[in-house]
Amino acid sequence: MKTKLTDLADIIRSKNSGPYELTFDIMFKNFEIFEDVVKSGQINEELVCGLFRITKDKIINIIAFQPAKAIKITIKRPICSGDLGETDVYGAQQHAPLLNLELDL
């Protein structure tokens, strides 16, 4: 059964992780949901590459952090924060592709 990520998580956000990186945090509603998502393996490099239209070499890490019931994804920024042509200095609006994500749990 497909379930929207927005129904599974309390927080889905993005932010800078320094001027050259973006971090996405997915914080789940409870430990059971967190464990189910992690065990499913659906949040992986292939998914991140497709959602953000990047290649695998742009992914720095995808970490499941159990104490926070969270998955943290860090990627290289396409344009350095504050550079000419960059439109989101704080990286706070980059998580939008995650909002329509559906997982098969």
* 101 within 8 A of 4, measured Cβ to Cβ: yes
What is the C-alpha separation between 58 and 74, in angstroms, rounded? 9
Tell which CATH classification among 2.60.120, 3.30.70, 3.30.1360, 3.40.50 matches the domain 2-99. Answer: 3.30.70
pLDDT at 43: 98
Q: pTM for the complete prediction?
A: 0.93
Q: Tens digit of pLDDT per residue, the chain (105 long)?
A: 899 999 999 999 999 999 999 999 999 999 999 999 999 999 999 999 999 999 999 999 999 999 999 999 999 999 999 999 999 999 999 999 999 999 999
